[in-house]
Structure 1
């Protein structure tokens, strides 16, 4: 951080050099611009602040028009953008996240119900989302303080087009634009009314979607306005309705089911015999008896030895598609004072209601519980508890007061189905208001000043979790429980149905969490031509921006009862987060014409930009950008950009308090869930306190995460180079109206990336090396299982990625059978590597499935569109290349395609979508559209390493199967 401050003066000098560039260039002026230079309409595109049509193709910008959006049949901006070939893994409504993923290390919670966008696989927090060029407030889902934008807070009905810049743009837009920019342009010049009705459903008859959009606009002599309302409701799809998602890992039965079962699992050490037993009660035995003389598995009492057949298939309680409702009202009004001055005001109110669901919450107690909560890990279950069948105290820690001074309770794992599944219901309210004035000087100069305020406020209500403090009290001394108002002794021993409503009333609270994000901003911009040079005018843009961020997360008080705070929550615990910061920024951009109609081509332009940002949290940062645009001929363009960028740590990353994530981790020191031997170095495991023969009882390990106030900003370098070729021989000929070929190479490098080392990688390195760098923060119980795992944010190291975009756009001539358009867009990722500060290589790379996400080597979208009179049709093919993952303990099953190497291949898949439409000449037009996505009914490939349902919900169409939809659009 100090180093950054020392660089402030040097960076300021760089900015001043950019500001003096016009004078330096003027000294070299040789020939005035020709008098027949055409004056084009003023235009601003994403990727430049200069409002000039000639430089529209200076950077690679992909534009989705309103027609492109409607062709997808989708109703969420997030779902639409995630289908782009350059998009990576990001949250969407197919992630049933609450209660399963816990809290991510970056302090932003799970983002339940939100839809985000990832460009170039660099993460949603490195993509800047704008609406009409102004920043949109970050997401809020009542589980943390997020660093990304929830696109479900922006109704699709207000969108005119979406511009996607897949290039570093910090010099133009500031922090967060490392991977690119998504600029959502709203509808403005609209005359008349519009009603759109949407209805969709999966072939299985579930996942029904209904939507209604209303719009009205009017263009007057001195004003225009547009108002609209939107309602979208998505019904749920349950995991149990699809064969592939009924078990934790398809094709492995109950092997990877939970050891927390409705009847309970009891791993005890009998103090009378010293024998350690892993027992499960016999089915239907509601009042079990325990015979201490039976020390093996051939038992005649109420128990049998726990086996795979006793495990619990929790997946069937999950959701493949989470239900949600989105309701929004929005509008904007613009008044033209004269030809050179106009003002506007715009506002939006939006509500998102969504639900996640998980299996009934497990209760883990004992030395091997690994929850990190002392009420669970250090519990004593009294022998006097009327339901304790074992006849002795169940003590989870070595206690000198117990016989043989040893643990008697290794693990009690009970899944109280009596309390129902966990339901997490989110309500997210978004408000936005903005105003501004725009003007021109009549000589090509334009200016604008804008102010806006926005807020996301969320509440999440959790039904189905438990109070671990009350559980411990109800299992302890009955006299103490009797003296506590409301407490009744708890029966975790009698199997399903043994927990009565009175017991549930004592241990099962309703948990309410809240979060809020605010963004206030003021901007001012000016753009125009400074003077003529030998090759044309020197164009210029400059501006100032002020932003203030505020964020807070307030979990239910059950997470921090008393002073000092003590956690009473059995679910995924967290602590409050609160913070704010502000930033002042100034930028300047030049477009320098170097050549026009010369020996080396039609034109050559140099673009230069720089932005200085002053943050209240860490100080100053300067980011430059340089670009070349070479129009070799009318039909051939070459372009290249180099940019430096940065991303300031978010409120959650800086101030996020300790929270817990329950992650799927394979402990190399323990016997696997399938009985496979431990893979770790035996001597090192012994040094870590793992007894020989120790077993992993649960694949979910609780990992503590949290923010770091000493984080520095991430810094980045981005490079793109490419060409656009529109061959003249394919223009206005018998077989082609127009043909465009585009090729772009991209490269991004991020230094000091803010993230935590992958937890599985950290554990593996700890076991391999015993290095305190990895082992500090990982502790184990007396029986060898991990009982605490600390995994905090740091400026981790380096992320590098590069690849190619290759696109073909072909418009065929209109004929007696209509007109066809072909679009073929491809992204090839040639490199992705993340390296920790200590040199450790993270597992995420190209062609590999890991941590519920993937980076396919090749993604491709091909569209064939047809129009003939009132008829339209479209065929789209979406291709994802094959991936590889580690099978882990599933290597022993046929579902693992390459057991010898312990890897599984997720085969390449191509989805086919079809759409047909007809436009009636009624009023201003009635457009009826019917379509089907995934018409060949392809299921996503089985994912063995994914956390839930055997799917990667961010890469593939979930839940699989055909999706049918119809839409009616009436204009009047």
Structure 2
């Protein structure tokens, strides 16, 4: 089951199991009972008795997690309705996404969380209320948490705060907070095993969890070990993902083809040629007399779209991911009111991404790097069939492009090994002050995320130049073997040995943290206790990225990437107050005001203060109203501040290639683009880098909500209990840290010729873009607002069992992004762009039927329709031209999940068997024509052909 719960839902579930009375009455009784244990709920540092606080919190308990059929915390959270587009193991990142502009790398193999579509960097991830270290997948210094570094085996519950909380927790908590609460102790040994796969027979998944614990008067402990292995699914095994763009054949395939493509001018005849060697060529008999005729009698033919290479079959729909972890938690009671704890975790992730064999693009028509752009294929190269130099730059330039896809070298494989270490220790207890208990805790934590990536299947561009160049230069290098790129299968193993290295990159993130916290009651007011929480926190972030020496020197056959290293310190003070205003009056059973403020002092930019005001108004046992206003901020991270100039391969459509109107034609001519220019390669290297002058992002958030528990639905023939909640949210973010979207920047440059967009974009004499520079800056703003609706209904027990229904819906009313010049960006409600979409409606409806030892769960996950631009695919039938020409509609989608479980205490101390199917009806995701890979959006939908079954057994001893 994948439906999310609010805190109220969690309380209802707990009450159901205990056969407790109605929730609000229970809370009122708890408030009156002095012996009730106070708890800390995510969104406030004040220990309190109320389960339902001033901010909306969803709680995903262990029972919910087990019924999801999923094995990753990230996958579980990505299915709640408030979740936006985030990285997961369905993204085949490395080799296709290059180096993104924020210096964080591509996070290959990671799974992250996005709330309210504001981005993973604007969500704070805590474990037991303490920050977790950011990921480093060996391609940069990441600024987000990889949830695959936290094993499910240690999780008791997950609390998701969908409100700004910077005044409570500091930076990053703009869109919300995910707080993962770990298991503290267990008096039994527990074992769980799960196996599953797709009904097409691939994507096998298995995991094992073992945990045990114990306790006595002074000591309690918990130990957990887990192993999870997810196997790959090849793109070639699904019709949808077996083509570069669905329904277009190889029209959008690569121009770097296995046989080689050569665009040049014959210096003897002046003929402009675009040739491809015929299959099986060993001794081409090039005849210059043929000129530029395509009616050829030699060993070549003229390039057509039918020659394009289908790179899609080498991609992965699901990337392999193996995780192993060991966790321990110890608690010692040092005195009646003081305890000491120690927590430690080691987690290792091994993952793989794969891309098609790496192409060579030689010549300035498709610029890649210095060596490839300045190659001469010498006339005395023993494999040059033309008898003259093919010169890419300088005097005698005649080569525009030589594109070759060397299948002989195999697919590119990117293998990541990521180690996460975490240790935390501290003391907690309480003391009496003025007759009131004051709770305190002191904490220290150190964590590191260390990654290495080995890249197999890439090439050394300098050695390519030597092996293709004058024979004397090759012979001067004892290792050099002249290279033959003319014809498929022409590259021998000796040639590969010279030009194909193993590229090894590494990165590391470290976090050191110290904190002291106090919470308790200051005094008793007429309406209740005046409570507070306050404390100090100090953090030090250190990160580094070390690309392979070939990459640093520019010899890597791709975009140059330089090392990154940096650190920053922050010291923070915070204070939070809970002020009771009314109690047991005609206006309110309880009315509370919360105030919070936090001051953060960063070594990189100075001080920042944030505040929050919240109101909780319990009108009656049936009705609770709440609201909040909060300020937020996100400090620029190490990658954004210190990231050295690096590049990423963006898939960009050049408006000057087949311009759509006379105005664009004229502007392109002004930019120096020839009238007959055709873009040879949609992948353009974009150079970006960090900016040490970045200021923090700032935000203002609003939240208003109500929880209604009608008395008329309590202990009735049709209803045991019903709870309805609605919540309105709004986030206003200013100074967003990002580089302007590359496609948008290029479009605006061509449309306006404005230097604000054209600076940093340069073209060569062929019209091709040979330099595209943009750096990070604080640009524009993001505004979003919407509603959450939550209905929880428990029906009376009957002969067939007891049925509960949980329905949660998120409606996104507005999402607007403006750049620094006030220009609207394409990301908005109902639009699919850049491999992500913002559905107007997302809804999860779950029904659970319990009967004696049996339980059946059924969940429906709904996503409303989206619209995308078809781009260059507009002329194909697959572009449905709906709602207007050139646009494709991604229809609304509903996925169904089911699980049947049986529990008995007659075997071992307890045994549970569960059989489940996710995507019961094999629903296909809508076709996405603009998505980078595999023909669908993996951040929004289940993957094609994804009916997945699993069997899980767990028992206690």
TM-score by length of 1: 0.94
Alignment of 1:565-714 (within 5 A): 567-671=554-658, 681-714=664-697
Alignment of 1:328-343 (within 5 A): 328-343=325-340
**Structure 2 counterparts to residues 926-945 of structure 1, below 5 A:** 926-945=911-930
Q: Show the counterpart of 1:239.
A: 235
Shift of 1:113: 0.1
CA offsets per residue over residues 27-76 of structure 1, 9 Å max, x none? xxxxxx99994323211000000001137422100000000001110000
| 1:51-110 Cα deviation digits (max 9, x unpaired) | 011374221000000000011100000100000100000100000000001111110010
Could you say which residue in structure 2 is the equivalent of 1:105?
101
The answer to whether the aligner puts 1:229 opposite 2:225 as a matched pair is yes
Q: What residue in structure 1 maps to residue 401 of structure 2?
A: 411
Separation in 2, partners of 1:224, 1:813: 39
Check if 1:716 corresponds to 2:699.
Answer: yes
Aligned residue for 2:159, secondary structure, equals strand
CA deviation after TM superposition for structure 1 residue 332, in Å: 0.2
2: CA distance, partners of 1:774 / 1:231: 49
Shift of 1:750: 0.8
Aligned partners of 1:608 and 1:546: how far apart in 2? Answer: 22
For residues 34 and 360 of structure 1, the distance between their equivalents in structure 2, rounded to whole angstroms, comes to 67
Does 1:480 pair with 2:473? yes
Deviation at 1:384, TM superposition (A): 1.5
Q: Deviations over 1:533-572 (max 9, x none)?
A: 22111111101000000000000000123xxxxx100034
* Larger CA deviation: 593-602 vs 421-430: 593-602
Q: Secondary structure at the match of 2:550?
A: helix
Structure 1 position 486, deviation (Å): 0.5
Q: What's 1:468 paired with?
A: 461
Matching of residues 115-154 of structure 1 within 5 Å: 115-154=111-150
- Whole-Å Cα distance in 2 between the matches of residues 970 and 583 of structure 1? 45
1:315 counterpart residue number = 312
Q: Is the 8 A contact 2:552 2:560 kept in 1?
A: no
2:860 corresponds to which residue? 877
The C-alpha deviation readout for 1:375-400, integer Å capped at 9, x for no partner, is: 1112222111111112221112252x
Q: Is the 8 A contact 2:327 2:344 kept in 1?
A: yes
Q: Distance in 1 between matches of 2:660 and 2:710?
A: 63
Quick check: 1:434–1:451 contact (8 Å CA) kept in 2? yes
Q: Is the 8 A contact 2:535 2:573 kept in 1?
A: yes
Structure 2 partner of 1:27: none
SS of residue matched to 1:492: coil
Which piece of structure 1 moves more, 245-254 or 297-306?
297-306
The equivalent of 2:66 in structure 1 is 70
Is the contact made by 2:31 and 2:49 (CA closer than 8 Å) also made in structure 1?
no
Task: State the shift of 1:705 in Å.
Answer: 2.0
Match of 2:543 among 536, 551, 563: 551
TM-superposed CA distance for 1:732, in Å, is 1.7
SS in 2 for 1:702: strand
Q: Distance in 1 between matches of 2:677 and 2:243?
A: 26
Please state if 1:434 is matched with 2:424.
yes
Distance 1:258 1:377 in 2: 18
Q: Contact 1:668/1:679 (CA < 8 Å) preserved in 2?
A: no
CA contact (8 A) 1:668 1:678 kept: no
C-alpha deviation, 1:485, in angstroms: 2.2
Aligned partners of 2:135 and 2:145 also within 8 Å: yes
Distance 1:959 1:455 in 2: 36
Relative to structure 2, which stretch is displaced further, 277-286 or 763-772?
277-286
Tell me the SS of whatever aligns to 1:753.
strand
What's the CA shift for 1:765? 0.4
SS at match of 1:788: strand
Equivalent residue, structure 2, for 1:918: 902
Unaligned regions of 5+ residues in structure 1, if any? Answer: 1-32, 562-566
Q: State the match for 1:422 in structure 2.
A: 412
> Which residue in the other structure is 2:15 paired with?
none
Task: Report the Cα distance in structure 1 between the residues aligned to 2:307 and 2:604, rounded to whole angstroms.
Answer: 53
Q: Deviations over 1:919-958 (max 9, x none)?
A: 1222221000000000101111111000111111111111
Match of 1:522 among 510, 514, 523: 514
Pair 1:838-2:821 in alignment: yes
Moved more, 528-537 or 256-265: 528-537
Deviation at 1:677, TM superposition (A): 5.9
Partner of 1:505: 497
Kindly state the Cα deviation for residue 960 of structure 1 after the two structures are TM-superposed. Answer: 3.1
- Once the two structures are overlaid, the 10-residue window that deviates more, 329-338 or 457-466, is 329-338
Aligned: 1:734 with 2:717? yes
- CA distance 1:170–1:626, shift in 2 (3 Å): same
Give the equivalent residue in structure 2 for 1:533.
525
Tell me which residue corresponds to 1:52: 48
How far has the Cα of 1:678 moved from its partner?
Answer: 7.3
- Three-state SS of the structure 2 residue aligned to 1:796 is strand
Looking at structure 2, the residues matched to 108 and 36 of structure 1 have their Cα atoms a distance apart, in angstroms, of: 46
- Residue 22 of structure 1 corresponds to none
Of 48-57 and 826-835, more deviation after overlay is shown by 48-57
Give the corresponding residue for 1:851.
Answer: 834
Residue 8 of structure 2 aligns with which residue? none
Deviation at 1:822, TM superposition (A): 0.5
- Measured after TM superposition, the shift of residue 790 of structure 1 is 0.9
Aligned equivalents of 2:172 and 2:669: distance in 1? Answer: 45
Deviation by residue 1:516-547 (Cα, 9 ceiling, x = unmatched): 00000001110111011221111111010000
Question: SS of 1:445's equivalent?
Answer: strand
Q: Which moved more, 1:773-782 or 1:149-158?
A: 773-782
Provide the TM-score with structure 2 as the length reference. Answer: 0.95
> Helix, strand or coil for the counterpart of 1:69?
helix
Residue 278 (str. 1) matches residue 261 (str. 2):
no
Matching residue within 376, 382, 387 for 1:386: 382
Give 1:738 shift: 1.2
CA distance in structure 1 between the aligned counterparts of 2:661 and 2:871, rounded to whole angstroms: 12
For 2:387 and 2:29, locate their aligned partners in 1 and report how far apart those are by CA, in whole Å: 101
CA contact (8 A) 2:430 2:440 kept: yes
Aligned length: 923
CA distance, structure 2, for counterparts of residue 608 and residue 210 of structure 1: 47
Report matched runs for 1:291-330 at 5 Å.
Answer: 291-294=287-290, 295-330=292-327
Query: Is the deviation greater in 440-449 or in 135-144?
Result: 440-449
What CA distance in whole angstroms lies between the structure 2 residues aligned with 1:680 and 1:525? 64
Aligned partner of 2:451 in structure 1 is 458
2:955 corresponds to 1:951: no
Alpha carbons 1:324, 1:353 under 8 Å: kept? yes
Instruction: Pick closer, same or farther for the CA change 1:536–1:193 going to 2, 3 Å.
Output: same
Judge conservation of contact 1:669–1:680 (CA < 8 Å) in 2. no
In 1, the alpha carbon distance for the partners of 2:794 and 2:428 equals 37
- Aligned partner of 1:825 in structure 2 is 808
Partner Cα separation in structure 2 for residue 119 and residue 37 of structure 1: 36
Work out whether residues 200 and 945 of structure 2, in 8 Å CA contact, stay in contact via their aligned partners in 1. no
- Aligned counterparts of 1:36 and 1:939: Cα–Cα separation in 2: 50
Gaps of 5+ in 2: 1-27
Distance, in Å, in 2 between the alignment partners of 1:383 and 1:591 is 82
Deviation at 1:337, TM superposition (A): 2.5
Which residue among 341, 346, 350 is the counterpart of 1:344? 341
Q: Secondary structure at the match of 2:429?
A: strand
CA contact (8 A) 1:669 1:678 kept: no
8 Å CA contact 2:133, 2:510 repeated in 1: yes
Distance in 2 (alpha carbons) for counterparts of 1:955 and 1:892: 26
Contact preservation (8 Å) 1:535, 1:594: yes
Shift of 1:448: 0.6
